[in-house]
Amino acid sequence: MSLYKDWTDMVVDYVKTKGENAFWDEYSKLEKNIYKDLLANHNNAKKTTINELAKEYNSTVEFTMGFMDGINDSLKNQYDLETVDADTELVLDINLETLYFNMLDAKAEYLYTLPQWDGIFSAEKRNEIQKEYKESKIVRNLDKVGRNDACPCGSGKKYKKCCGKEK
């Protein structure tokens, strides 16, 4: 069984026994502590293992694997988490813009408001990334069908005489 599977199974069991709030309290505390250090030392990619991170932050390997699951999309070189074990050497070389964007997407205010971001991005740059994030969530229907266009259902009729008749 993979450590990643252990992580996902542990989350289910933890939430069932202790509740979702208890899970998020413990996980977010670990996540916040690791990110504070990573962001404070953002010029150096951290080389570590799941075991080392767990010991350094007084956590379990499962919770630490959860951290890896969360940061993986923000790494310059992502890992196949199914193949990562507790002693796999990991290089946490972070794409900081992607990380900030992903923190916004996760609605993790406790992370994207960390004071360590002040030493990485200006307020203007953070606002620019926030604007980009908001823009990415707007749904635009660019393929609007006109009344006299062919119906997209493929009937061969005009839209107003087919699927648009009821509108």
Q: Are 50 and 65 in contact (CB under 8 A)?
A: yes
State if pTM tops 0.85.
no
What does the pLDDT look like over 7-60, one tens digit per residue?
999 999 999 999 999 999 999 999 999 999 999 999 999 999 999 999 999 999
**What torsion do the CA atoms of 152, 157, 163, 167 make, to the nearest 10 degrees?**
120
94: Cα separation from own chain's centroid: 13
**Joined tokens for residue 117:** 């971001």
Q: In whole angstroms, what is the distance from residue 157 CA to residue 154 CA?
A: 8
pLDDT digits (tens, 9 = 90+) for 56-82: 999 999 999 999 999 999 999 999 999
Scanning the structure block, which residue is given the tokens 């648009």?
A: 164
59, burial (CB in 10 Å: exposed 0-12, middle 13-18, buried 19+) = buried
Q: b vs e for 129-152, b when ≥16 Cβ sit within 10 Å of the residue's Cβ? A: beeebeeeeeeeeeeeeeeeeebe
